[in-house]
Amino acid sequence: MSQSQIAVDLILQKITEQTEKAKSRVEKASEVLLSPLKTDLATTPFEYVYEEDRVRLKYYKPEQKKHKIPLLLIYALINRETMLDLQPGRSVVQTFLDQGIDVYKIDWGYPTRKDKYITIDDHVNWYIDNIVDFIRNRHDLPKINIMGICMGGAFSVMYSCLHPGKVKNLVTTVTPTNFDTDKGLLHIWMKNSHAFELGDTYGNMPGDLMNLGFLLLNPARLILDKYVGFFENMDNKDFVENFVRMEKWIFDSPDVPAATFQQFITDCYQKNLLIQSKLELGGKRVELKNLTMPLLNIYGQYDHLVPPQACELLTKHVGSKDTEDICLKTGHIGIYVSSKCQALFAPKVAAWLKEREGEDKADHSSRTGSSKSVSAPGTDSGKKADETGARKTGAKKTVAAKKTAAAKKTAAAKKTAAAKKKTAVKKKKTPGRKV
């Protein structure tokens, strides 16, 4: 049997061709890398309209307003919210603006050592609640729309359960709510991590350390393949600019407050309290059945950080009768930067919100006012407000009855209000300010 032979001249020809291509690529890459590159992140115009401690609120104004209810974007504490406005042509924020939506986005800033003891309760029932109240008052609306991303999505679910009267519609994207899964190495690691030791050792959980952990979840793809791909495309200016933008975002990693990190790992990853409605914030249970507003739940089929198994149970446990699950064939970040997903994701969210923009009957009656001290309907203060309105409409009998009831409870109401005010002053700081 004769052995197959490869002509030497054919091998030499291929080597020569590859050498010429490599030489041409290097020459062009030199021109690209030495030329000015447009690698700025978050180029969509915005203004800061509210700030409190390290937290600031960005406002993006659409050229033509088509939605009457604004949308608040709540990103995770890990990495930066600039992912939603990463690059021109692939900006979730810009797509929402093109759809005519007033967009607000929380910038969590960079925690320092003084933020070590900030808990999930502080983020949900203080920072987020203050921001929601600010937006409601700014637009004179009883409810607003919220879209949460990843850890920020979990915070959004918690907030919507505790303050359902302030949320019109809720959108969750790549949001972990069921942590009882072994799909994904991150869940396995977190179940066996010593969160309190890490938090106590570092003060705040270092962003760089978490970044290293995320890269080690898939080192072949996230470390090796990525840079091989860069060298193969470094003569393509658009590719290089997008690559640098992504690298800037990946390595811009704020620390996470120690108390928040410890609570999220122990209560969520290790005890799985959220999906069981056993999580407690500020002495109140986060009951998923209280989440009664429309819910759109979007996640990625190939997400290695928050796999579908961690997301898909949410709609089955909430009290809302208007829920929808969408699983996109992409990964954790691809939902926001993939050109294919961009054509589906943000337009779908905008259309879904538009369909549910009609005001329900409970909207006005559920509004609790501009500050946390304003009483909800049914309290003594609420009865006094009702009394005033009844007096204006001439309902004398109703006024007289309410006056009698109010007179009997005046002393008790004042005493209770004073006690609550004293407790609130002890527990919380002064709310943020307009910018």
Active-site residue set: 150
Residue 104 has phi, psi (to 5 degrees) of -120, 145
Residue-wise DSSP of 310-357: HHTTHHHHSS-S-EEEEEESS-TTHHHH-HHHHTTHHHHHHHHHHHT-
Task: Please tell me whether residue 395 adopts helix, strand or coil conformation.
Answer: coil
Q: Rounded to the nearest 10 degrees, what angle do helices 396-427 and 380-393 cross at? A: 150
CA atoms within 13 A on the CB side of 108: 27
The amino acid present at 21, given as its one-letter code, is K
* Alpha carbon distance, N-terminus to C-terminus of the chain: 85
What 3-state DSSP class applies to 287? coil
Quick one: which of 205, 51, 80, 67 has its CA closest to 151? 80
Dihedral angle of Cα 20, 22, 27, 28, to the nearest 10 degrees:
110
Instruction: Answer yes or no: are the C-beta atoms of 95 and 350 closer than 8 Å.
Output: yes
Q: What is the largest CA-CA distance in the chain?
A: 113
Cross-strand partners of 152: none
Distance (Å, whole) CA 126 – CA 141: 20
Contacts (Cβ under 8 Å, ≥6 apart) of 386: 377, 402
